[in-house]
Amino acid sequence: MSDVNLADFLERLRSYDPDLDKGKVMRFAEIAKAFPHLPPAVARRYPRVGMADFAEIGYCAYKGWHRGRGTEVRRPARTAQRVTRGENIHARKVDEELQAARKLPVATPTDLRNPMVDMASIPELPALIKVGGLVYMSSVERAGRNKGDLVIMEIKTGKWVRMPDHYLQTWGYCLSAPSALLRLTDNNFRAKAVRWSLSYPESVFGPYGFTERTLKLVREGMRLFGRLYRLGAAADKHVPHDPYGPSGRKCPPCGFAHDCSWRYTDERTGTYTAAGSPSAPVVLRLTRDGAL
Ligand code: SF4
């Protein structure tokens, strides 16, 4: 993997605009066949990663290395509070939707096989797929059927919208949900195409078609993540440069900053900013020979 490949991938991912992607939309059956469900007994034989952990390379590629290395996640207090807040909002929404779903008629095998019968979103659909030697575990936020198509929705509770890591996570779910739905419905679920959508507190984007181009981007992302993960597992720090990675905005809230040699350096002051308390981040000064 050369630097050019990682930088090139990140650039294409960051410039992706779903409104301009008029490519062929992938069929449900094609994706289900290409990314079959992996039985848990088989999955245990391979390294397992969360789809959300994979997606973090859209935030900073070095996070993929830390996942392979097994660096302990130490979130600064403010980040931890944000995560807890997001989890609570999710849990509340899931409860509400499950309560509403229980009032709806239960889909029969005939309904499941008829793509034109709309289906309410199923929250937290569990899914397992294997790509390039790694098992990706998903809890697909919402999977429903609308006008014949499977629609995957990812819900974000923060203020940042349409971020590269949001795309990768949602597209990862587009890969894993079709075979999971077949498994959960005794092979009865049918849909025409696969679509995706991102929901934020103030706006909803999509649904957009899961196109050949998005499939190519997420596959490339998984290949790069696999490579970074393996380098991390081998503690090999010879990794490609992420031109969009370390920054004064991204590193302070990162759970790996306490043990990351790529973390943001302020060249003017010669200080490293590590994850500490939000109001008073830990600042480590360099000695003359560059040691901490
Ligand atoms: S500390 Fe910064 S460079 Fe290191 S993984 Fe986190 S965001 Fe990336």
Average the pLDDT over 35-55 and give the result: 95
Q: Which domain holds residue 270?
A: 246-292
Q: Are 290 and 270 in contact (CB under 8 A)?
A: no
Residue 130 falls within a domain, yes or no?
A: yes
* pTM (whole model) above 0.85: yes
Instruction: List ligand 1's pocket residues with C-beta within 6 A.
Output: 60, 62-63, 66, 245-246, 250-251, 254, 256-257, 260, 262-264
Query: For residues 9-28, b (16+ Cβ closer than 10 Å) or e, as one string?
Result: bbeebeebebeeeeeebbbb
pLDDT for residue 81: 86
Query: Which of 233, 254, 280 is at the close of a domain?
Result: 233
CA distance 196 to 221: 18
How would you list the strands of the sheet with 271-273, edge to edge? Answer: 265-266, 271-273, 283-285
Average the pLDDT over 21-38 and give the result: 97
Quote helix, strand, coil % in the chain, to nearest 5. Answer: 40, 20, 40
Residue 280 falls within a domain, yes or no?
A: yes
Q: What CATH number corresponds to the domain at position 9? A: 3.90.320
Is residue 224 domain-shared with residue 262, that is, in the same domain? no
Is residue 229 domain-shared with residue 292, that is, in the same domain? no
What pLDDT, in 10s, does the model give residues 264-285? 876 655 554 444 333 333 333 3
Is residue 152 domain-shared with residue 258, that is, in the same domain? no
Scanning the chain, the segments in alpha helix (DSSP H) are 3-14, 28-34, 40-43, 51-55, 62-69, 77-102, 109-113, 164-184, 212-233
Ligand 1: centre distance to CA 119 (Å): 40
Is residue 156 domain-shared with residue 226, that is, in the same domain? yes
pLDDT for residue 245: 93
Residue 203 falls within a domain, yes or no?
A: yes
Is residue 46 domain-shared with residue 151, that is, in the same domain? yes
Pocket perturbation via mutation, ligand 1, pick of 53, 79, 254 by most ligand atoms within 8 A of CB: 254
Residue found under tokens 């059956």: 29
Is residue 98 domain-shared with residue 183, that is, in the same domain? yes
CA distance 150 to 190: 9
| Dihedral pair phi/psi, residue 129, rounded to 5° | -135, 160
pLDDT for residue 92: 83
Residue 127 falls within a domain, yes or no?
A: yes
Residue 179 has pLDDT above 60, yes or no: yes
Q: Is 177 strand, coil or helix?
A: helix
Atom 1 of ligand 1: nearest residue by CA position: 257
Residue 239 falls within a domain, yes or no?
A: no
Residue 24 falls within a domain, yes or no?
A: yes
Least confident of 81-95, 153-167, 226-240: 81-95
Is residue 218 domain-shared with residue 289, that is, in the same domain? no
Residue 90 falls within a domain, yes or no?
A: yes
Domain count, the chain: 2
Least confident of 43-47, 87-91, 115-119, 142-146: 87-91
Query: Which of 209, 233, 257 is at the close of a domain?
Result: 233
Pocket perturbation via mutation, ligand 1, pick of 60, 225, 247 by most ligand atoms within 8 A of CB: 60
Enter the DSSP assignment of 51.
Answer: H
Is residue 136 domain-shared with residue 193, that is, in the same domain? yes
Q: What would the two tokens of residue 119 be?
A: 């289906």
Residue 238 falls within a domain, yes or no?
A: no
Atom 7 of ligand 1: nearest residue by CA position: 251
Least confident of 2-16, 85-99, 228-242: 85-99
Is residue 131 domain-shared with residue 48, that is, in the same domain? yes
Is residue 195 domain-shared with residue 276, that is, in the same domain? no
Atom 4 of ligand 1: nearest residue by CA position: 263
